[in-house]
């Protein structure tokens, strides 16, 4: 106990209480519910793709999940992110994520249209666009976590 107390005091003393740090902590905190929803979206996409690939579901059921869960959730995430107030120093980074998620939602809509029409070429285009958005999203999280490191904060893409 005697060694823990000085460590706790040192940690508290090292906490950055500047307005910038406080705003950053608030922003990271405010993003958490949206990131949980992002996890749910990823699960829908993965489960649906896996079920289709392994023939555990019919195409009609996959179309229904895509239309009722995937596309609306992707759109809603973009709207929810736009409502979060990012501190000035993080505003451009948040706008970048908004763009990525908007592109992902559009790509998912293209996949939905392709599933409804049976257009394999359109499905491939939507799939490629969604993969591109996914890669950009992963890079965004890698970069933002490097930038948040001095604040001892991280954003988990799929908490």
SS3 152: coil
pLDDT tens per residue across span 106-141: 999 999 998 888 888 988 999 999 999 999 999 999
Tell me, yes or no, whether 156 lies in a domain.
Answer: no
Tell me, yes or no, whether 75 lies in a domain.
Answer: yes
How many domains in the chain?
1
Phi, psi dihedrals of residue 87, rounded to the nearest 5°: -60, 155
pTM across the whole model: 0.85
Residue numbers of the domain that contains 115: 19-151
pLDDT tens per residue across span 36-66: 999 999 999 998 888 777 778 777 888 888 8
Tell me how far apart the alpha carbons of residues 32 and 45 are, in angstroms, rounded to a whole number. 20
Tell me, yes or no, whether 130 lies in a domain.
Answer: yes
């Amino acid at each position: 106990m005697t060694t823990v107390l000085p460590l706790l005091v040192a940690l508290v003393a090292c906490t950055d209480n500047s307005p910038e740090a406080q705003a950053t902590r608030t922003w990271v905190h405010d993003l958490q519910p949206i990131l949980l929803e992002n996890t749910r979206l990823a699960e829908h996409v993965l489960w649906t793709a896996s079920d289709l690939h392994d023939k555990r579901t019919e195409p009609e059921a996959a179309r229904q999940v895509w239309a009722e869960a995937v596309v609306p959730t992707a759109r809603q995430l973009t709207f929810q992110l736009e409502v979060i107030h990012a501190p000035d120093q993080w505003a451009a980074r948040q706008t970048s994520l908004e763009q990525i998620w908007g592109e992902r939602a559009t790509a998912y809509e293209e996949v939905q249209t392709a599933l409804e029409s049976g257009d394999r070429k359109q499905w491939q285009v939507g799939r490629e666009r969604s993969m591109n958005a996914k890669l950009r999203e992963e890079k965004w999280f890698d970069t933002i976590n490097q930038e948040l490191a001095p604040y001892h904060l991280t954003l988990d893409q799929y908490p």
